[in-house]
Amino acid sequence: MTAVEVSEPAVAGFHPDPTICRVGDTYYLANSSFEYRPGVPLRVSTDLLHWDLVGHAFTRTSQLPDSEGLGSTGIFAPTLRHHDGVFYLVTTNVVGEAPEQVILRAESIAGPWSEPSVTQGAVGIDPDLCWDGDECYLTWCELGVGISQARIDPDTAQLQEEPRRLWSGTGLAHPEGPHIFKRGSWWYLVIAEGGTERGHSVSVARGVSPTGPFEGCPANPILSHRSRAVAVQNTGHADIFEKADGDWAITFLGTRPRGVSPGFHVNGRETFLAGIEWHDDWPVVIDPRHEIVATDHSFLDDFRGDRLHARWASPGVFPETFAQTGAHGLRLASDVVRFVGARVQDLEWTSTATLAVSEGWGAFALRLDEAHMYAVEVEGERVVATSVIGEVRTEHGSIVIAPGQEVTVTIAAVPDHGQFLARPGPDTITLAVHTDEGEQVLARLDGRYLSTEVAGGFTGRMLGFAVRGEAMVTTIACTAR
């Protein structure tokens, strides 16, 4: 069992289930997006160290219908591949009782991406596509069974044969996340096992055909951080690929938990990178191989462009249905509660926003899901700090303003550095409002209640704006400390 000493993600913040394909000297990365729209962020890199967000695969309601936006529903793990000049993305929309796989196609990674073609008879999650000559194979996790496979027409998503059982892993829980690739005369099947918590791991098998039979690696799992005293935990759900220089690499998800046991990760599952060496035709994960350094994810947005930056996303609906950019900023208008936010990517940060609520209720909010959120709310003459933890909503400090007045508010995350037995959490969240007398802190809240270990699920923190009524946001600045 291998552990690597990676500490900095290649793509930070809620970017789980990474999948990479290469075309020439350029690499393309896709990640899960769950309940958020637009769906499946897409990135491009030429060095594997710096990734540019170029768009999303799901950009319209015809591809991804509106939903309730409940936490950790929606679009699960994708696979991104390129074949005969076409990009293919296969994934699962789990909304519904029996989730089938959906395939989208595009000639350019930036789109436009096609309407989804939907399988019939491939119920499960975590689909993969691979080609052996003209034959294409769909491989997926059949829940409660293991890894299944069938030949498929990738343009119509029609299965060409009855599914077969392929491999059930090494006996660890939840064999899932399959990817198949070829190196030399061997076909390799990479899967995740152990669940996406601390026992997460990567195992591999090989065979002479993409249809198997597959023999497990004697050194499985080839990657796991379970029971290791390292900063990055929950490592798994990997994609192995050949680099432009002929070397090989592995991308995988991981988390950065902090605080007292069991540790709390708050930014979701992130994308990491390590090297691969080959011993006796088996992949061995090595590190260091890529010099990834901490990235400054600070941004300033005045919302005066033609459209929202690609960083902004909403649960259940596309942002443009209620959030419109314009000459004066971002106008939010909805008769039901809506949220638009950007992924939090740093562990320590400060964000300040200026907004005015002309009707109803608005808030600057830090959100993990619909039942776990801290916010500075504005309604009528009140500005109040609130927390929502499960079914309990609590009001903290507040001030009085003139109705409709523009207010500047701040949310900040500062890591906890408590002493032994002081039960430190991952961070402290400060909610503040700016007045003529300066910044007035309304609440300091324990960040563990906005962590996956408390809330459950598969996503990470989002920072943004909630509305029920009408509000105007003129600026937001987010700065890594």
* Residue 256 CA to its chain's centroid (Å): 14
At 61, list the tokens. 């309601």
Q: Cis (ω within 30 of 0) for the bond into 154? A: no
Sign of CA dihedral 217, 223, 229, 235: negative
Active-site residue identified among 8, 17, 128, 270: 17
Distances in Å between the alpha carbon of 216 and those of 146, 178, 285, 332?
14, 14, 16, 53
How far separated are the first and last CA of the chain, in Å rounded? 36
Kindly provide the b/e burial profile for residues 92-101, where b requires at least 16 CB atoms within 10 angstroms of the residue's own CB.
bbbbeeebbb
**Whole-number Å distance between alpha carbons of 419 and 409:** 31
| C-alpha dist (Å) from residue 202 to 77, 159, 211 | 15, 28, 20
Catalytic residue among 35, 100, 128, 176: 176
Annotated active-site residue 197? The verdict is: no
What are the tokens at 83?
A: 């074949």
Taking residue 179's Cβ as centre, other Cβ atoms within 10 Å add up to: 25
Q: Which residues of 135-171 are buried (b: 16+ CB within 10 A; e: fewer)?
A: ebbbbbbbeeebbbbbbbebeebebeeebeebbebbe
Strands (E), 227-311: 233-242, 248-255, 270-279, 282-286, 299-301
Q: Return the biggest CA–CA distance within the chain.
A: 73
**Is the preceding peptide bond at 426 cis, omega within 30 degrees of 0?**
no
Active site residue 17: yes
- Phi/psi of residue 435, nearest 5 degrees: -125, 180
Which residues are identified as catalytic? 17, 176
